């Protein structure tokens, strides 16, 4: 079996390469390549491990004909075109927890530096002054820290701040009351936070909702003398407005590790009073760089070798432990999606994926992704679980997932239903022996069939002699039948025939099948 090839294109802890090799990957370490150099070689690799220096553009992705996964050793993925990677079927992962403590500690360091004006006092002292009377700091004990974002990093900052005897309040739409109580903090709205906080620390990603969350209006109406720390993402603060507020004294101090444009070699805040900055050092500790390098290698290797998906930004998570158990279900789901996609006519508006029995107890997201991957192949050959949901969304397909606690005739069942102009069309399947995918129902008719290879699908009147006529026609064309699967609603009513064939049918042969007495529908299928 050929080992997956991985390229490490940025400087990274050397143990990352070792982990890739130990887990069954071949790895090349080539930091410092130009975009043209990367473009020239990327087609050889299934995995690309990066930090912040490599920029993965559409040009790079177009050349990455074998690429399956990009792993960012760190949390920020501004240097990866995620929508384009998704459209190309490439998983994008990051390591959101490897540098959490490091970033949280940097935010606390910034708070302390602001409180005691450490950088300026240091600079003037080393310049030969002794400006003891020029600096009057404040204690952090008893002060209120307002967190904008109380997720992984924000919660660590909260615990450190509570240890410093600060009061902590937080604005986070995703923070529950129970979680706030668990953290020992108070959940408030943003306006309340800005009116009460002595210090504000931002810990939120940059999205359309959070861009300039500290706007001019909010800064001007905040508590006078507030101090602001941002070790999260640039673009969360209106930098021009912050400068004006520092100069007016409305904001007593600000400490930024991130900027709207980086590298920030020129910025309106430079030179502003009581302003401290660092060059995006939030994750810059030895421990953090080792952690994220090891984590990205582990995650990428798990995906390439075992199919496990961890910390993906464009695909449902699937642990390496879950992957073997889910693999046959995903194979079944993909076949059902492909079948209904081939059989349903016209534009599809809705799809429903139902799970019952043992299937209902599993992680449903990968199963849904597999169904969509099979379905969307009716529109494109370059489809996988990564880009299928995006293609479905582009086409306005309404996707719903339904989990049933009940157990029916089968121990485990997946049903896929699509809405068409002719009404709903449904197929269902199960696993035999917990590993073999098997179709058990098609458009309400019970039928047992293995969906594999080239097949012939026929809807016909259930009349004597029909099977013989179909068999004779195929025999006359030298086409061998592998399996013969039948189902019907009622005796003498509508029936379904599924044949697996040793070779694909030509359009001409399908046209002949359509002329056989009793045939209502005839289609060639492929799996």
- pLDDT value at position 165? 97
Residue 466: its H or E element: helix 466-476
**Position 48 pLDDT exceeds 70:** yes
Q: Are 199 and 158 a contacting pair, CB within 8 Å?
A: no
pTM: 0.64
Task: Write out the CATH class of domain 5-96+287-306.
Answer: alpha beta
Q: What is the pLDDT of residues 168-185, one digit of tens each?
A: 999 998 888 989 999 999
Q: What is the pLDDT of residues 19-41, one digit of tens each?
A: 999 999 999 999 999 999 999 99
- pLDDT value at position 381? 63
**Position 422 pLDDT exceeds 70:** yes
Query: Catalytic site residue 233?
Result: yes
Q: Which residues contact 299 (CB under 8 A, 6 or more apart)?
A: 71, 93, 95, 308, 310, 311
Q: How many CB atoms lie within 10 A of CB 395?
A: 12
Q: How many CB atoms lie within 10 A of CB 204?
A: 23
Among candidate residues 217, 262, 514, 517, the one labeled active-site is 262
Q: What is the pLDDT of residues 153-167, one digit of tens each?
A: 999 999 999 999 999
Instruction: Pick the range with the lowest mean pLDDT from 240-244, 334-338, 388-392, 462-466.
Output: 388-392
Query: Mean pLDDT throughout 143-152?
Result: 95
Is domain 323-526 given the CATH code 3.30.1330.90 in the classification? yes
Q: What phi and psi values does residue 320 have, to the nearest 5 degrees?
A: -60, -30
Spatial separation of the C-alpha atoms in residues 51 and 16, rounded to whole Å:
12
The sheet carrying 26-29 orders its strands as 26-29, 5-8, 47-50, 69-72, 91-93
- pLDDT value at position 382? 64
Query: Catalytic site residue 211?
Result: no
Query: Catalytic site residue 262?
Result: yes
Q: Between 429 and 382, where is the model more confident?
A: 429
Query: Mean pLDDT throughout 83-98?
Result: 88
Among candidate residues 72, 203, 233, 425, the one labeled active-site is 233
Domain boundaries, the chain: 5-96+287-306, 100-277, 323-526
Q: Is the peptide bond before 263 cis (omega within 30 degrees of 0)?
A: yes
Q: What phi and psi values does residue 109 have, to the nearest 5 degrees?
A: -60, -40
H helix runs in 93-233, sequence order:
100-116, 118-126, 152-163, 177-183, 190-196, 216-220
Q: What is the pLDDT of residues 92-123, one digit of tens each?
A: 999 888 888 999 999 999 999 999 999 999 99
User: Would you say the CATH fold of 323-526 matches that of 5-96+287-306?
Assistant: no
Among candidate residues 72, 106, 203, 280, the one labeled active-site is 280
Superfamily of domain 100-277 in the CATH hierarchy: NAD(P)-binding Rossmann-like Domain (3.40.50.720)
Confidence of residue 414 (pLDDT cuts 50, 70, 90): very high
């Amino acid at each position: 079996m050929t080992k997956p090839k991985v390229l490490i294109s940025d400087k990274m802890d050397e143990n990352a390469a070792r982990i890739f090799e130990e887990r069954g990957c071949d790895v090349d370490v080539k930091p410092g390549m130009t975009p043209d150099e990367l473009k020239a070689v990327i087609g050889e690799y299934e995995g690309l491990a990066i930090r912040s220096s490599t920029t993965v553009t559409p040009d790079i992705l177009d050349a990455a004909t074998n690429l399956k996964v990009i792993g960012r050793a760190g949390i920020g993925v501004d240097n990866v075109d995620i929508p384009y990677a998704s459209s190309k079927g490439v998983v994008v992962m990051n390591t959101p927890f490897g540098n959490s403590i490091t970033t949280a500690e940097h935010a606390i360091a910034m708070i302390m530096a602001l409180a005691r004006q450490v950088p300026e006092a240091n600079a003037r002292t080393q310049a030969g002054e002794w400006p003891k009377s020029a600096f009057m700091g404040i204690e952090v004990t008893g002060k209120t820290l307002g967190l904008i974002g109380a997720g992984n990093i924000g919660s660590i900052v909260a615990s450190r701040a509570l240890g410093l005897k600060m009061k902590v309040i937080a604005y986070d739409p995703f923070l529950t009351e129970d979680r706030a109580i668990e953290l020992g903090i108070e959940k408030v709205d943003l306006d309340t936070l800005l009116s009460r906080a002595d210090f504000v620390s931002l810990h939120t990603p940059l999205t359309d909702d959070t861009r300039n969350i500290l706007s001019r209006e909010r800064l001007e109406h905040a508590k006078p003398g507030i101090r602001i720390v941002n070790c999260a993402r640039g673009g969360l603060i209106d930098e021009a407005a912050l400068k004006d507020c520092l100069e007016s004294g409305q904001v007593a101090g600000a400490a930024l590790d991130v900027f709207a444009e980086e590298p920030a070699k020129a910025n309106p805040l430079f030179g502003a009073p009581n302003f401290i900055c660092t060059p995006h050092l939030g994750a810059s500790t030895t421990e953090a760089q080792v952690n994220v390098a090891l984590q990205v290698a582990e995650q990428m290797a798990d995906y390439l070798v075992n199919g496990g998906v961890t910390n993906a930004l464009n695909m449902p998570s699937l642990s390496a432990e879950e992957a073997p158990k889910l693999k046959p279900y995903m194979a079944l789901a993909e076949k059902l999606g492909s079948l209904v996609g081939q059989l349903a006519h016209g534009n599809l508006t809705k799809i429903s994926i139902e799970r019952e029995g043992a299937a209902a107890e599993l992680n449903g997201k990968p199963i849904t992704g597999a169904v969509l991957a099979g379905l969307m192949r009716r529109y494109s050959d370059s489809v996988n679980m990564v880009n299928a949901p995006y293609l479905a969304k582009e086409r306005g397909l309404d996707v719903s997932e339904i989990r049933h606690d009940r157990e029916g005739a089968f121990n485990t069942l997946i049903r896929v239903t699509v809405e068409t102009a002719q009404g709903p069309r449904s197929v269902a399947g199960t696993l035999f022996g917990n590993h073999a995918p098997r179709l058990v129902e098609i458009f309400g008719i019970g039928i047992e069939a293995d969906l594999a290879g080239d097949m012939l699908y026929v809807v016909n009147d259930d009349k004597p002699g029909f099977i013989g006529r179909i068999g004779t026609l195929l025999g006359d064309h030298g086409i061998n039948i592998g399996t013969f699967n039948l189902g019907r609603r009622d005796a003498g009513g509508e029936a379904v025939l599924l044949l697996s064939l040793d070779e694909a049918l030509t359009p001409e042969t399908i046209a002949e099948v359509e002329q056989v007495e009793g045939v209502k529908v005839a289609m060639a299928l492929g799996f």
